[in-house]
Amino acid sequence: MFVSAQVFRFSNMNSNKEIDYNINAHNRIAAKYERIHDEIFNDIEQARVHNALEEAIRAIESGKEDLKALDVGCGSGNLTRHLIDHGLYTVSADVSENFLKLIKQKFASTSLSKTLKLNGLDLADIDDCSFDIAAAYSVLHHVPDYLHLVKEMCRVLKPGGIIYIDHEACQSRYSKPPEYVEFLNAATPKSYILWKYVRLLLSFRFYVNFIKKRINPRFIGEGDIHVWPDDHIEWDKIQHVLSAQNFEIITRKDYLVCRNSYIESVYEAYKHKCCDTTMLIARKKAESPANT
């Protein structure tokens, strides 16, 4: 599966084009990003992220004071906000200028915030062993060579530092076991689906996107995204990179992501029966090839 997905990527696409496409798409949606992502900006998901980051920060062994975090693909500051709340000096890094502008505005009142423009390929402007935690939430599926970016995150971490990767699909999102299909069918009220379709039919963008999807069935308004059964991020490959860089896995958790639109009782009934998303925490061992 991995080989076919990689062959598909590199034979069909040019990385720089993919990155430019993503930069434009994210610049366009930056201002409304939090409004359109109810799977991130809801109380249940925010509490889960807060706790997961707390666990990640507790696992840091590179130091205990003046901890420095890197939020890779920071967007509007979802992780940045939690990292700063946890007291970490946070460098919010992104390819999108509009997202970085938002971060500057939002965190202007704290001395714990800094922004950094990324090139979309690697972390070229960042020194080796300079961070205590490097985090990426819902980012890797946008990145042309995501395994290289993971390796780069390893490089910039101090020994004892933590890599935190969250909100990427797990295998059952693609294999769709019966409980997950059952959940998806029951989770969203029919009235909400109907309202959503009516709104879609009334928007001009729906018709533009409809035509774009006819031309390219993998078109998504938020850029080039690798979330297809034959082209998606693969957790086992990420773990392989991490162990080659001498990282130890602290936690790998599959969970069922919560949306505002879900019926709460249905979500509660299924949240331990099925999953669609993964979070991983790993620590850089003292003697690591990524240090050299």
Residues forming the site for ligand SAM (CB under 6 A): 19, 22, 26, 40, 73-75, 78-79, 94-96, 99, 118, 120, 137-139, 142-143
Of the pair 31, 263, the CB lying nearest ligand SAM is at: 31
Taking the complex as a whole, how short is the minimal distance between the CB of residue 139 and ligand SAM, in angstroms?
4
Least separation in angstroms between CB 121 and ligand SAM: 7
Question: Shortest Cβ distance from residue 292 to ligand SAM (Å)?
Answer: 25
DSSP 65-95: SS-EEEEET-TTTHHHHHHHHTT-EEEEEES
Indicate the residue among 16 and 243 with the shorter CB distance to ligand SAM. Answer: 16
- Per DSSP, the three-state class of 270 is helix
- Consecutive H or E run containing 51: helix 43-58
User: Which has the closest alpha carbon to 289: 71, 128, 63?
Assistant: 128
Strands 157-169 and 277-284: antiparallel
- In the complex, which residue's CB is closest to ligand SAM? 75
Q: Which is nearer to ligand SAM, 125 or 248 (CB)?
A: 125
Least Å from the CB of residue 23 to ligand SAM: 7
Residue among 241, 100, 114, 257 at smallest CA distance from 187: 257
The residues, ordered by sequence, that sit 6+ positions from 192 with a Cβ below 8 Å of its Cβ are 261
Three-state SS for 55? helix
**Cβ nearer to ligand SAM, comparing 94 with 276:** 94
Q: Is the dihedral of CA 120, 233, 128, 158 positive or negative?
A: positive
Least distance from ligand SAM to the Cβ atom of residue 274, Å: 22
Min dist. Cβ of residue 120 to ligand SAM (A): 3
Bridge pairing between strands 277-284 and 247-255: antiparallel
Nearer to ligand SAM, 83 or 270 (CB): 83
Shortest distance, CB of residue 173 to ligand SAM, whole angstroms?
15
Tell how far CA 14 is from the center of its chain: 22
Contacts of 275 (CB under 8 A, 6+ apart): 170, 172, 180, 254, 255, 256
Nearer to ligand SAM, 81 or 158 (CB): 81
Reduced to 3 DSSP states, what percent helix, strand and coil does the chain have, rounded to the nearest 5?
45, 20, 35
Q: Which is nearer to ligand SAM, 61 or 97 (CB)?
A: 97
Q: How far is CA 274 from CA 172, 181, 227, 255, 278, in A?
A: 8, 9, 19, 7, 12
CB of 67 to ligand SAM, least distance (A): 19
Name which of 181, 174, 187 is nearest 259 in CA terms.
Answer: 187
